């Protein structure tokens, strides 16, 4: 694989990557450079905190687990976001999105606003989505980990049934992917089998990333997985090894806080998907000190361009997004000399 192809594979990630996708949105560049305003291009929506798994590495493990958004609040949010230029939304957690009682109605609301849809799911409840909802989906990313077989067994399922569910929906015109969280004891055979499944079913990619709370300690495990896959002659052209041990301190203003805000199941608006672990002492929940407002005040955040003050963040993975945004807003000396 060439260096360029490898870089383009990173298009399926945002953390620790250069935001090439900026250049596909001339209206966003103009808005930032001329009008000095950021649009909520990409909304990250957590409709519910309900989940069937209890993963020890979950960044939201200390959340209030029974919370779900009322569908009326989601409708209100989407109308506001659309008015300010929202183009896409990732339905994620929090909890498991397909456990949300109004899931299919929520997909209809997003599509009605012309918002493109992506889904992050543990794959257990894929049959709860209607065919109509799949037809409106752009991509789906299915979460896995070293302990996936044990988690499935705990809820009365198994790997065979899990993969059959995925096989059933993989025929829909959706860009599918796996995201695999690596722990202290990598499940090499499981990783290999999921990569082979992804290759067979023409998934866009497989992301392998380390447990974010032990990222610095798991570098060797990541290397050992790469070595194992190479020794087993596994086709890894679609595999993205994402090392989360590299981060920076946050900045003020935090431009990404308005570019791709997170909406929690509590109805709060947060600056990014890393608020649970951004501070020196991780909260494993959406940190109250980082709440920018409520759904009902979404419009005012954009009318007044109320950026989050990211200087309190000790762990930030979006430095490149913020630096490019800063240049768009403030310019750069000798800009003509490319």
**Structural domain contains residue 17:** no
- Contact yes or no for 108/114 (Cβ under 8 A): no
Residues in CB range of 279: below 8 A, 6 or more apart: 287, 289, 290, 312, 313, 314, 315
Structural domains of the chain, count: 1
Q: Does some domain include residue 234?
A: no
Q: Is residue 303 part of a domain?
A: yes
Name the maximum alpha-carbon separation found in the chain: 63
Query: Pairing between strand 239-242 and 205-210?
Result: parallel
Considering just the CA atoms, what is the radius of gyration of the chain in Å? 20
For residue 189, give every residue at least 6 positions away whose Cβ sits within 8 Å of its Cβ, in sequence order, or none: none
Q: Is residue 158 part of a domain?
A: yes
Q: How far apart are CA 11 and CA 204, in angstroms?
A: 11
Q: pLDDT tens, position by position, for the chain (338 residues)?
A: 444 455 455 566 666 678 888 888 899 989 999 999 999 999 999 999 999 999 999 999 999 999 999 999 999 999 999 999 999 999 998 899 999 999 999 999 999 999 999 999 999 999 999 999 999 999 999 999 999 999 999 999 999 999 999 999 998 999 999 999 999 999 999 999 999 999 999 999 999 999 989 988 888 999 999 999 999 999 999 999 988 888 999 999 999 999 999 999 999 999 999 999 999 888 899 989 999 999 999 999 999 999 999 999 999 999 999 999 999 998 889 888 98
Instruction: Read off the CATH number of the domain in which 296 is found.
Output: 3.20.20.70
| Structural domain range at position 284 | 39-173+247-328
Residue 293 included in any domain: yes
Exposure string of 149-158, with b = 16+ CB inside 10 Å and e = fewer, is: bebbeeeeee
What is the distance between the alpha carbons of residues 160 and 104, in angstroms, rounded to a whole number? 26
In a domain, 9, yes or no: no
Residue 181 is assigned to a structural domain of this protein? no
Please indicate, yes or no, if residue 71 is contained in any of the structural domains.
yes
């Amino acid at each position: 694989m060439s260096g360029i192809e490898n870089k383009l594979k990173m298009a399926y990630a945002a953390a620790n990557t250069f935001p090439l996708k900026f250049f596909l949105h001339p209206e966003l560049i103009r808005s930032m450079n001329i009008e000095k305003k950021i649009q909520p291009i990409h909304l990250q929506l957590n409709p519910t905190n309900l989940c069937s798994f209890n993963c020890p590495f979950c960044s939201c493990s200390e959340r209030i687990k029974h919370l779900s958004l009322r569908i009326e609040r989601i409708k209100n949010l989407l109308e506001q976001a659309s008015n300010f230029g929202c183009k896409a939304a990732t339905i994620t957690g929090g909890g498991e999105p397909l456990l949300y009682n109004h899931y299919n109605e929520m997909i209809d609301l997003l599509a009605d606003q012309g918002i493109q849809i992506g889904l992050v799911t543990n794959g257990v409840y894929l049959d709860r989505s209607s065919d109509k909802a799949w037809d409106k989906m752009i991509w789906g990313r299915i979460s896995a980990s070293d302990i996936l077989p044990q988690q499935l067994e705990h809820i009365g399922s198994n790997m065979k049934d899990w993969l059959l569910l995925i096989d059933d929906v993989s025929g829909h015109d959706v860009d599918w992917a796996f995201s695999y969280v690596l722990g202290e004891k990598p499940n090499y055979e499981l990783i290999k089998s999921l990569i082979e499944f992804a290759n067979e079913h023409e998934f866009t990619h497989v992301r392998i990333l380390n447990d974010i709370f032990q990222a610095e300690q798991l570098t060797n495990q990541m290397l050992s997985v790469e070595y194992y896959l190479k020794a087993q002659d596994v086709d890894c052209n679609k595999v993205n090894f994402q090392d989360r041990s590299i981060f920076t301190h946050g900045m003020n203003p935090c431009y990404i806080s308005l570019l791709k805000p997170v909406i929690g199941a509590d109805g709060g608006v947060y600056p990014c998907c890393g608020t649970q672990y951004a501070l020196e002492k991780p909260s494993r929940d959406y940190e109250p000190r980082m709440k920018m407002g409520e759904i009902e005040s979404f419009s005012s955040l954009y009318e007044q361009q109320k950026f989050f003050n990211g200087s309190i963040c000790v762990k930030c993975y979006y430095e490149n997004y913020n630096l490019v945004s800063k240049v768009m807003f403030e310019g750069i000396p000798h800009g003509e000399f490319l």
